[in-house]
Amino acid sequence: MHDSPGDHIGRLQALLHLAGTLQAHAETRLSEVGLSLPKLAALTKLSEAGESLPLSQLAARLSCVKSNITQLVDRLEADGFVSRAADSSDRRSRLAVMTPAGRAAFEKGAQIYQQTERDLLSELDEVEARYLTSLIEKLEKRAG
Amino acid sequence: MHDSPGDHIGRLQALLHLAGTLQAHAETRLSEVGLSLPKLAALTKLSEAGESLPLSQLAARLSCVKSNITQLVDRLEADGFVSRAADSSDRRSRLAVMTPAGRAAFEKGAQIYQQTERDLLSELDEVEARYLTSLIEKLEKRAG
DNA sequence: TAAGATTGAGCATTCAATCTTG
DNA sequence: CAAGATTGAATGCTCAATCTTA
């Protein structure tokens, strides 16, 4: 009297719901420093690249479409966290450059994000956390 | 030489990334019958309730804000899957009613969703699937 | 005044079409 | 013509404000 091999009713839904909840928590915490998850992700890539990147590179590294980056950078620019600059090597290209305010927000945001990660996953012990990672890798390989 | 208890660097990101990938897969499959995950969720609640529900009830059951439902029902109405009707018991209220086309789409969509769920989670054996569920419950309790 | 629904504005994302530059 | 960026339209979500009805 056990589940049939292919029985996963509700599990996908449960996983997607959990992700939504966790994401909402992270967004709420980040909003205290004027950031969202997508904005923090963009600033992180900029920071890793040493302050600036062509928009097309940013799109590639965030695995999204270019038009998305155009608009995300619009919002970051409105926030004063990023500014656009010319790319001397290619006049078609535009550079997203982190401003001092952007770096400050990034540093605070990165701290908050890590703390949120610890808080949300603090229920799991070492074994559970490792198991979770292995399950994620397995599913990611299948779906990716 | 093991991770400190609070070390979860990247795990939240990995989980959110996985959820995004799984969601994208489900959306792609559902788009074949003109549905999205939110649309299928709404039709599911309508079906469970016996074809119709006041918009406020739909919002409550989908755990979202009322204005969201207004717009979701707008789109479902444009698709021909739902129509709005008066609520005889309260003139402030409006009923979302599933149309025949809506029921047909729901039935196909529910099939596709279940198949997608099985496909995406088919990598996991019985033990892993149960463990996943327990981890989700643990994290959901913490975050919910 | 409360509740139900809607509207308007903002964030985030995609796709298709377009403009500029290579 | 390709590539980089942008714009416009669509989906989906939130919040704040508003309108109607209870």
Between B140 and B3, the higher pLDDT residue: B140
pTM here is 0.94
Per residue in A5-58, pLDDT tens? 468 999 999 999 999 999 999 999 999 999 999 999 999 999 999 999 999 999
pLDDT band at B142 (very low <50, low <70, confident <90, very high): confident
Beta partners for B83? B97
pLDDT exceeds cutoff 60 at A4:
no
What pLDDT, on a 0 to 100 scale, did the predictor assign at position A3?
47
What is the Cα gyration radius of chain A? 19
The set of strand D positions with any atom below 7 Å of a protein CB reads 3-9, 11-17, 20-22
CA–CA min distance A77, chain B (Å): 25
The predicted structure's pLDDT at residue A144: 83
B55 touches strand C (CB under 7 A): yes
Asked if residues B43 and B98 have their Cβ atoms less than 8 Å apart, the reply is yes
| Residue A33 near residue A99, CB atoms below 8 Å | no
Nucleotide nearest to B69 (CA to C1'): C5
Answer for the pair B44, B110: CB distance below 8 angstroms, yes or no: yes
Mean pLDDT along residues B85-103: 98
Whether B127 contacts chain A with CB within 8 A: no
The answer to whether residue A91 neighbours chain B at the CB level (below 8 Å) is no
CA–CA gap between residue B120 and residue B114 (Å, rounded): 10
